[in-house]
């Protein structure tokens, strides 16, 4: 019998990756019902083991299900817990030898590789009425470039977990220009990145200006993580 033994299962509710070594087992579990498709886990993964969604930009009008990430390369995952720690919606869980690992006990946190995230536990509600609690530790600015927006899409409004984006109302006068979607309330935005991750054209512009944190950290690891965190799908589309 050879080790490690890797298994991966996925259904509508859960994605489960498990690696069995001779004396230890490691598991990474994604709760797909908690996930908002924000793409944070995929952006921060140091091994690029997580995708931003199996369909994403390849479909004309992506849905939430399209942009939920997948641990597409279990062989690349090193179970460092970066994705678990940074997930704003607590949709990821790390398990060692069958026991859940508390956030403060994740190795990169316990050994001060990353700083302590200072967040606000914020109650939010999406446009379709789903209520969630988000760990908001990021601040920034967001805007929509309307001329780059795919008219009739409204994916950003559909996947926004806080209801910050909405379909623009029709103008009162027929000859007046109509926006496709608009930022209804900047204060509602939690800067999770779901809108950028879902936008098929790169019309969303998110500028993360601050990550609230404190305490000691490894400068090389954390600075590299922040660079990945701030790399939007829009920037990737522009590079392509």
Q: Taken in order 193, 199, 204, 207, is the CA torsion positive or negative?
A: positive
CA 186 to CA 102: how far, in whole Å? Answer: 33
CA 50 to CA 83: how far, in whole Å? Answer: 9
- What distance lies between CA 85 and its chain's CA centroid? 12
CA 119 to CA 134: how far, in whole Å? Answer: 9
What token pair was written down for 156? 């950003």
pTM of the model: 0.89
CA 96 to CA 234: how far, in whole Å? Answer: 36
Please report, in tens digits, the pLDDT of each residue of the chain (240 residues total).
567 899 999 998 999 999 998 889 999 999 999 999 999 999 999 999 998 875 444 456 778 888 999 887 888 999 999 999 999 999 999 999 999 999 999 999 999 999 999 999 999 999 999 999 999 999 999 988 888 887 778 889 999 999 999 877 766 666 566 667 777 688 899 999 999 998 888 889 999 999 999 999 999 999 999 999 999 877 776 666
- Three-state DSSP at 195 gives helix
């Amino acid at each position: 019998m050879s080790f490690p033994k890797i298994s991966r299962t996925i259904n509508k509710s859960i994605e489960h990756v498990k690696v069995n070594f001779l004396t230890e087992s490691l598991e990474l579990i994604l709760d797909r019902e908690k996930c908002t498709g924000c793409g944070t886990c995929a952006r921060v993964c140091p091994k690029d083991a997580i995708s931003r969604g199996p369909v994403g930009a390849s479909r004309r009008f992506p849905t939430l299900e399209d942009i939920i990430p997948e641990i597409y390369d279990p062989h690349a995952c090193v179970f460092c817990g970066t994705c678990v720690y940074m997930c704003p919606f607590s949709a990821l869980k790390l398990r060692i030898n069958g026991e859940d690992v508390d956030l403060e006990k994740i190795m990169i946190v316990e050994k001060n590789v990353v700083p302590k995230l200072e967040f606000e536990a914020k109650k939010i509600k999406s446009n379709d009425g789903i209520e969630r609690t988000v760990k908001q530790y990021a601040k920034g600015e967001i805007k929509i470039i309307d001329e780059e927006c795919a008219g009739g899409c409204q994916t950003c409004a559909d996947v926004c977990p806080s209801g910050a984006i909405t379909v623009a109302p029709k103008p009162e006068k027929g000859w007046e220009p109509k926006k496709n979607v608009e930022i209804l309330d900047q204060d509602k935005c939690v800067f999770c990145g779901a809108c950028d991750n879902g936008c098929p054209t790169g019309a969303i512009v998110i500028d993360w200006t601050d990550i609230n944190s404190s305490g000691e950290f490894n400068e090389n690891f954390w600075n590299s993580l922040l660079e990945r965190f701030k790399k939007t799908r829009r920037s990737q589309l522009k590079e392509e």
